[in-house]
Amino acid sequence: MTETANKNHELLFPNHTSNLKNTDPEFIELFDNFAFDEILDHGTLDTKTRLMVILASTLGCQALTEYKVMVGAALNVGITPVEIKEILYQAVPYVGIAKAYDFLHGTNEVFQNRGIALPMEGQSTTTPETRFEKGLEAQKAIFGERIDQMYRESPANQLHIQKFLSANCFGDYYTRNGLDLGIRELLTFAILLSLGGCDLQVKGHVQGNLNVGNDKEMLLNTVTQLLPYVGYPRTLNAIRCINEVIPE
Protein backbone atom coordinates (compact mmCIF):
# COMPACT_ATOMS: atom_id res chain seq x y z
CA MET A 1 0.00 0.00 0.00
CA THR A 2 1.09 3.55 -0.67
CA GLU A 3 1.91 5.86 2.21
CA THR A 4 -1.21 7.93 1.44
CA ALA A 5 -3.46 4.87 1.35
CA ASN A 6 -2.08 3.67 4.68
CA LYS A 7 -2.60 7.09 6.24
CA ASN A 8 -6.21 7.41 5.03
CA HIS A 9 -7.04 3.83 5.99
CA GLU A 10 -5.61 4.36 9.49
CA LEU A 11 -7.78 7.47 9.92
CA LEU A 12 -10.93 5.40 9.44
CA PHE A 13 -9.76 2.12 10.96
CA PRO A 14 -7.04 2.80 13.53
CA ASN A 15 -4.91 -0.21 14.44
CA HIS A 16 -6.96 -2.51 12.21
CA THR A 17 -5.38 -5.22 10.08
CA SER A 18 -7.62 -6.77 7.47
CA ASN A 19 -7.77 -10.56 7.26
CA LEU A 20 -7.76 -10.10 3.50
CA LYS A 21 -4.14 -9.03 3.73
CA ASN A 22 -3.39 -12.64 4.60
CA THR A 23 -5.80 -14.39 2.23
CA ASP A 24 -5.92 -11.93 -0.72
CA PRO A 25 -2.85 -9.68 -0.38
CA GLU A 26 -2.58 -8.76 -4.06
CA PHE A 27 -6.25 -7.78 -4.30
CA ILE A 28 -6.33 -5.77 -1.09
CA GLU A 29 -3.22 -3.85 -2.16
CA LEU A 30 -4.69 -2.77 -5.48
CA PHE A 31 -8.13 -2.03 -4.00
CA ASP A 32 -6.88 -0.04 -1.02
CA ASN A 33 -4.46 1.97 -3.15
CA PHE A 34 -7.34 2.86 -5.45
CA ALA A 35 -10.02 3.53 -2.79
CA PHE A 36 -7.83 5.23 -0.20
CA ASP A 37 -5.35 7.05 -2.43
CA GLU A 38 -6.40 7.62 -6.06
CA ILE A 39 -10.09 8.18 -5.33
CA LEU A 40 -9.46 10.48 -2.37
CA ASP A 41 -7.16 12.59 -4.56
CA HIS A 42 -10.22 13.70 -6.57
CA GLY A 43 -12.84 16.11 -5.31
CA THR A 44 -13.38 18.32 -2.32
CA LEU A 45 -15.77 16.40 -0.06
CA ASP A 46 -14.65 16.62 3.55
CA THR A 47 -14.14 13.37 5.44
CA LYS A 48 -17.43 13.60 7.32
CA THR A 49 -19.54 14.18 4.20
CA ARG A 50 -17.68 11.43 2.35
CA LEU A 51 -18.42 8.91 5.09
CA MET A 52 -22.07 9.99 5.22
CA VAL A 53 -22.63 9.38 1.51
CA ILE A 54 -20.77 6.06 1.72
CA LEU A 55 -23.07 4.96 4.54
CA ALA A 56 -26.09 5.97 2.45
CA SER A 57 -24.67 4.15 -0.55
CA THR A 58 -24.08 0.89 1.32
CA LEU A 59 -27.73 1.03 2.37
CA GLY A 60 -28.75 1.43 -1.27
CA CYS A 61 -26.43 -1.43 -2.28
CA GLN A 62 -27.72 -3.66 0.52
CA ALA A 63 -24.14 -4.20 1.69
CA LEU A 64 -24.78 -4.85 5.39
CA THR A 65 -21.31 -6.08 6.33
CA GLU A 66 -19.61 -3.10 4.66
CA TYR A 67 -22.20 -0.78 6.19
CA LYS A 68 -21.37 -1.98 9.72
CA VAL A 69 -17.66 -1.49 9.04
CA MET A 70 -18.37 2.04 7.83
CA VAL A 71 -20.56 2.84 10.85
CA GLY A 72 -17.48 2.18 12.96
CA ALA A 73 -15.39 4.37 10.68
CA ALA A 74 -18.02 7.12 10.83
CA LEU A 75 -17.88 7.12 14.62
CA ASN A 76 -14.08 7.23 14.43
CA VAL A 77 -14.12 10.47 12.41
CA GLY A 78 -16.70 12.26 14.56
CA ILE A 79 -20.04 11.52 12.92
CA THR A 80 -22.49 11.34 15.79
CA PRO A 81 -24.78 8.41 16.61
CA VAL A 82 -27.78 10.67 15.95
CA GLU A 83 -26.45 11.52 12.48
CA ILE A 84 -25.84 7.85 11.70
CA LYS A 85 -29.36 6.91 12.75
CA GLU A 86 -30.78 9.77 10.67
CA ILE A 87 -28.87 8.56 7.60
CA LEU A 88 -30.44 5.14 8.15
CA TYR A 89 -33.93 6.53 8.69
CA GLN A 90 -33.56 8.75 5.60
CA ALA A 91 -33.04 5.63 3.51
CA VAL A 92 -36.25 3.89 4.61
CA PRO A 93 -38.72 5.64 2.26
CA TYR A 94 -36.35 4.96 -0.66
CA VAL A 95 -35.26 1.36 -0.06
CA GLY A 96 -38.27 0.17 1.98
CA ILE A 97 -38.33 -1.41 5.42
CA ALA A 98 -37.73 -4.90 3.99
CA LYS A 99 -34.25 -3.76 2.95
CA ALA A 100 -33.65 -1.45 5.92
CA TYR A 101 -34.67 -3.85 8.70
CA ASP A 102 -31.36 -5.70 9.04
CA PHE A 103 -29.51 -2.37 8.93
CA LEU A 104 -31.49 -1.12 11.94
CA HIS A 105 -30.34 -4.13 13.94
CA GLY A 106 -26.82 -3.90 12.53
CA THR A 107 -26.53 -0.27 13.59
CA ASN A 108 -27.80 -1.06 17.07
CA GLU A 109 -25.27 -3.87 17.34
CA VAL A 110 -22.36 -1.56 16.50
CA PHE A 111 -23.67 1.10 18.90
CA GLN A 112 -24.07 -1.36 21.75
CA ASN A 113 -20.54 -2.67 21.16
CA ARG A 114 -19.32 0.93 21.42
CA GLY A 115 -21.29 1.55 24.63
CA ILE A 116 -23.74 3.97 22.98
CA ALA A 117 -27.00 4.03 24.93
CA LEU A 118 -30.26 3.26 23.13
CA PRO A 119 -32.83 4.54 22.44
CA MET A 120 -31.50 7.98 21.60
CA GLU A 121 -33.36 11.26 21.90
CA GLY A 122 -36.14 11.64 19.33
CA GLN A 123 -35.60 14.00 16.38
CA SER A 124 -39.15 14.35 15.00
CA THR A 125 -40.46 17.88 14.48
CA THR A 126 -43.96 17.10 13.23
CA THR A 127 -47.21 15.72 14.59
CA PRO A 128 -49.91 13.66 12.86
CA GLU A 129 -51.73 16.95 12.30
CA THR A 130 -48.76 18.85 10.79
CA ARG A 131 -46.80 16.17 8.90
CA PHE A 132 -48.56 16.76 5.56
CA GLU A 133 -48.22 20.55 5.70
CA LYS A 134 -44.58 20.45 6.83
CA GLY A 135 -43.75 17.73 4.32
CA LEU A 136 -45.28 19.69 1.47
CA GLU A 137 -43.24 22.69 2.59
CA ALA A 138 -40.04 20.61 2.48
CA GLN A 139 -40.95 19.23 -0.94
CA LYS A 140 -41.43 22.72 -2.34
CA ALA A 141 -38.18 23.89 -0.76
CA ILE A 142 -36.43 21.20 -2.81
CA PHE A 143 -38.51 20.97 -6.00
CA GLY A 144 -40.40 24.26 -6.14
CA GLU A 145 -43.68 24.66 -8.01
CA ARG A 146 -43.16 21.30 -9.74
CA ILE A 147 -44.96 19.79 -6.72
CA ASP A 148 -48.15 21.76 -7.46
CA GLN A 149 -47.97 20.52 -11.05
CA MET A 150 -47.61 16.91 -9.87
CA TYR A 151 -50.75 17.28 -7.75
CA ARG A 152 -52.68 18.86 -10.63
CA GLU A 153 -51.66 16.19 -13.12
CA SER A 154 -52.14 13.18 -10.86
CA PRO A 155 -55.10 10.91 -11.79
CA ALA A 156 -57.66 10.65 -9.00
CA ASN A 157 -56.86 6.98 -8.37
CA GLN A 158 -53.16 7.85 -7.83
CA LEU A 159 -53.49 11.07 -5.84
CA HIS A 160 -53.04 9.19 -2.57
CA ILE A 161 -49.43 8.38 -3.57
CA GLN A 162 -48.68 12.10 -3.96
CA LYS A 163 -50.15 12.68 -0.52
CA PHE A 164 -48.09 9.84 0.92
CA LEU A 165 -44.96 11.39 -0.58
CA SER A 166 -45.72 14.73 1.05
CA ALA A 167 -46.78 13.44 4.47
CA ASN A 168 -44.60 10.35 4.84
CA CYS A 169 -41.46 10.61 2.70
CA PHE A 170 -41.00 14.33 3.32
CA GLY A 171 -43.15 15.07 6.37
CA ASP A 172 -41.97 12.13 8.46
CA TYR A 173 -38.31 12.09 7.38
CA TYR A 174 -37.01 15.25 5.73
CA THR A 175 -38.34 17.45 8.55
CA ARG A 176 -36.42 15.61 11.28
CA ASN A 177 -33.60 17.18 13.24
CA GLY A 178 -30.10 15.70 13.17
CA LEU A 179 -29.32 16.46 9.51
CA ASP A 180 -30.06 19.57 7.49
CA LEU A 181 -32.06 19.63 4.26
CA GLY A 182 -28.99 19.91 2.01
CA ILE A 183 -27.25 16.82 3.35
CA ARG A 184 -30.52 14.85 3.36
CA GLU A 185 -30.97 15.59 -0.34
CA LEU A 186 -27.35 14.60 -1.06
CA LEU A 187 -27.86 11.35 0.86
CA THR A 188 -31.01 10.63 -1.16
CA PHE A 189 -29.02 11.09 -4.36
CA ALA A 190 -26.40 8.61 -3.06
CA ILE A 191 -29.06 6.07 -2.08
CA LEU A 192 -30.87 6.26 -5.43
CA LEU A 193 -27.77 5.96 -7.62
CA SER A 194 -26.66 2.97 -5.53
CA LEU A 195 -30.03 1.20 -5.81
CA GLY A 196 -29.81 1.04 -9.59
CA GLY A 197 -32.81 1.15 -11.91
CA CYS A 198 -33.90 4.54 -10.57
CA ASP A 199 -32.56 6.86 -13.26
CA LEU A 200 -35.73 8.99 -13.44
CA GLN A 201 -35.62 9.55 -9.68
CA VAL A 202 -31.85 10.16 -9.77
CA LYS A 203 -32.38 12.93 -12.32
CA GLY A 204 -35.18 14.42 -10.22
CA HIS A 205 -32.89 14.55 -7.21
CA VAL A 206 -30.01 15.97 -9.24
CA GLN A 207 -32.31 18.96 -9.80
CA GLY A 208 -33.38 18.83 -6.16
CA ASN A 209 -29.74 19.01 -5.05
CA LEU A 210 -29.14 21.99 -7.30
CA ASN A 211 -32.17 23.72 -5.80
CA VAL A 212 -30.82 23.35 -2.24
CA GLY A 213 -27.29 24.48 -3.12
CA ASN A 214 -25.46 21.23 -3.92
CA ASP A 215 -23.83 22.07 -7.26
CA LYS A 216 -22.67 19.82 -10.10
CA GLU A 217 -19.13 19.64 -8.73
CA MET A 218 -20.43 18.32 -5.41
CA LEU A 219 -22.58 15.70 -7.15
CA LEU A 220 -19.67 14.55 -9.33
CA ASN A 221 -17.44 14.44 -6.25
CA THR A 222 -20.04 12.27 -4.52
CA VAL A 223 -20.26 9.87 -7.46
CA THR A 224 -16.46 9.64 -7.59
CA GLN A 225 -16.17 8.78 -3.90
CA LEU A 226 -18.83 6.08 -4.30
CA LEU A 227 -17.18 4.44 -7.32
CA PRO A 228 -15.25 1.80 -5.31
CA TYR A 229 -18.47 0.80 -3.53
CA VAL A 230 -21.01 0.76 -6.39
CA GLY A 231 -18.84 -0.09 -9.41
CA TYR A 232 -18.55 1.49 -12.85
CA PRO A 233 -22.00 0.77 -14.36
CA ARG A 234 -23.91 2.63 -11.63
CA THR A 235 -21.25 5.32 -11.54
CA LEU A 236 -21.56 5.94 -15.29
CA ASN A 237 -25.36 5.88 -15.08
CA ALA A 238 -25.24 8.51 -12.33
CA ILE A 239 -22.87 10.72 -14.36
CA ARG A 240 -25.18 10.44 -17.37
CA CYS A 241 -28.12 11.53 -15.21
CA ILE A 242 -26.13 14.50 -13.89
CA ASN A 243 -25.09 15.56 -17.39
CA GLU A 244 -28.65 15.30 -18.74
CA VAL A 245 -29.90 17.66 -16.02
CA ILE A 246 -26.80 19.90 -15.91
CA PRO A 247 -25.12 19.81 -19.34
CA GLU A 248 -21.45 20.64 -19.64
The phi-psi region of residue 106 (left if phi > 0; otherwise alpha if psi is between -120 and 50; otherwise beta) is alpha
Q: pLDDT per residue over 183-220, tens digit each?
A: 999 999 999 999 999 999 999 999 999 999 999 999 99
The amino acid at residue 87 is I
Residue 114 CB contacts under 8 Å (≥ 6 apart), including other chains: 72, 75
pLDDT of residue 119: 96
For the chain, the 3-state helix, strand and coil shares in percent, each to the nearest 5, are 75, 0, 25
**pLDDT tens string 78-119:** 999 999 999 999 999 999 999 999 999 999 999 999 999 999
Query: What are the tens digits of pLDDT across the range 224-239?
Result: 999 999 999 999 999 9
Contacting residues for 244 by C-beta, under 8 A, at least 6 apart: 203
Q: How far is C-alpha 211 from the chain's CA centre?
A: 18
Confidence of residue 19 (pLDDT cuts 50, 70, 90): confident
pLDDT of residue 58: 98
Confidence of residue 180 (pLDDT cuts 50, 70, 90): very high
**pLDDT tens digits for 45-80?**
999 999 999 999 999 999 999 999 999 999 999 999
**Average model confidence (pLDDT) for the chain?**
96
How far apart, in whole angstroms, are the C-alpha atoms of residue 130 and residue 171? 8
- Report, as an integer, the average pLDDT of 17-44: 92
The mean pLDDT of 131-136, rounded to a whole number, is 98
Distance CA 40, CA 108 (A): 29
Which distant-in-sequence residues (6+ apart) come within 8 Å of 161 by Cβ? 154
Contact assessment for residue 86 and residue 180, using Cβ atoms and an 8 Å cutoff: no
1 has pLDDT over 90: no
**pLDDT score of 17 more than 90:** no
Per-residue pLDDT, averaged over 132-141, amounts to 96
Residue range 130-146: mean pLDDT, rounded: 95
User: What local confidence, expressed as pLDDT, does residue 205 receive?
Assistant: 97
Q: Please give the CATH topology (third level) of the domain spanning 42-118+181-245.
A: AhpD-like (1.20.1290)
Domain ranges of the chain: 42-118+181-245, 127-174
* 18 compared with 14, residue with greater pLDDT: 14
| Whole-number Å distance between alpha carbons of 139 and 133 | 10
pLDDT at position 16: 83
